Amino acid sequence: MTLGTQIAWDDTVLPFQLDASDIRGRVARLDGVLSGILRQHAYPPQIEALIAEMTLLTAMIGQTVKLRWKLSLQVQSNKAAVRTIATDYYAPEEEGQPARIRAWANFDAEKLTPGNAFDQVGEGYFAILIDQGPGTTPYQGITPLTGGSLAACAESYFAQSEQLPTRFRLGFGLSTEPGVPAHWRAGGVMLQHMPKASPFVASGAGDDGLLRAVDLMSGDEGENWNRANILLDTAEDLELVGPSVPPTDLLVRLFHEETPRVFDAQAVRFGCTCSEDRVRQSLSIYSARDIGRMTTDEGIVTADCQFCSAHYRLDPATLGFDAARPPGDGHDG
């Protein structure tokens, strides 16, 4: 395989259902998507690992949203190296089209430490936001940064905010095949118990009293969930990342007794939605005086996209909500 050769199941999310257990899930494989995201910035390895994990979570969770919706995952933290990690998943405009994902991180390089990538994340929160489009109110759910991984934070979110037992088993890292430039690959499996009437649970036994998946089920449901998780734990990292193991083969190997049933795979691609028009729109809230402060000695306003590093050079006279007056004319409050 060369870096330019696309494996059939790379950059796809395959939804499936375990009919014998009332469990649904997704298998994701990412290669070119991560390359597209990571080559926009010179991130250190710890940050690359966090972005790989966050992008993988975004792909699997995003597959459930409807056409033309936008899903965003965010990490906001303090007192540690990482300040922000943000990902956006843009669902396809039409059936059969690929979804688009972009990601970005802000961090303090002087605070980076050796070891586990999650150690770079301090106190803060993990958030999931869903935007259904114009005329709607975006949904936002938040959970603390806890559990030792971003996947654990996502599991906590679903238990707390949705009361849906959810499990992620992820693998990601640098692929170093002979004759191929090193590049990141990621893959994983997401399990989620089919939604029913939400149970009432006073508190959980997890960190800080947070609910866990096991707090939401009992009886046969709990046994089915535990069995599926035990089977998932037998997956090896190379099977998850999957250069040589198709997602369908992995599902059969793990869950053949659970009657797995697969649906159409969703293709995902790296894609940024920034444009000069969007930059102009974001600057439309500023007054002529504000635009004047942003203007460089060369007489232009510059803006860089945090996600794809696109660089924009704009005429200040065309910006701001008072663009009819040039900056600094003395008449803007």
Give 253-262 pLDDT, tens digit per residue.
999 999 899 9
Which residues make Cβ contacts (< 8 Å) with residue 57, sequence separation at least 6? 73, 87, 150, 151, 154, 168, 170
pTM: 0.83
Q: Which residue has the higher pLDDT, 231 or 221?
A: 231
CA dihedral 198→200→202→206, nearest 10 degrees, is -40
Which residues make Cβ contacts (< 8 Å) with residue 118, sequence separation at least 6? 50, 148, 149, 150
**Distance between CA atoms of 162 and 317, rounded to whole angstroms?**
48
Q: Token digits for 11?
A: 């950059």
Angle of the 45-62 helix axis to the 150-157 helix axis, nearest 10: 30
Q: Which domains does the chain have, with CATH numbers?
A: 12-270 (3.55.30.10), 276-318 (3.90.1280.10)
pLDDT, the chain, mean: 86
**Distance between CA atoms of 175 and 241, rounded to whole angstroms?**
9
**Distance between CA atoms of 167 and 192, rounded to whole angstroms?**
6
Return the sign of the alpha-carbon dihedral for residues 292, 293, 299, 300. negative
Q: Token digits for 28?
A: 């994701």
- For 173-199, letters b (16+ CB in 10 Å) and e give eebeeeeeeebbbbbbbbbbbeeeeee
Give the C-alpha distances (Å, rounded to integers) separating 134 from 58, 69, 152, 314. 22, 10, 32, 27
Q: Is 54 helix (H, G, I), strand (E, B) or coil?
A: helix
Q: Which residue has the higher pLDDT, 113 or 179?
A: 113
Q: Quote the percentage of the chain above a pLDDT of 70.
A: 89
Q: Token digits for 10?
A: 């790379």
Matching residue, tokens 């800080």: 208
Tell me the pLDDT tens digit for each residue of 181-201: 888 999 999 999 987 644 444
Judge whether 225 and 217 are in contact, CB under 8 Å: yes
| pLDDT greater than 60 at residue 215 | yes
State the pLDDT at residue 227.
95
Q: Token digits for 109?
A: 């390089």
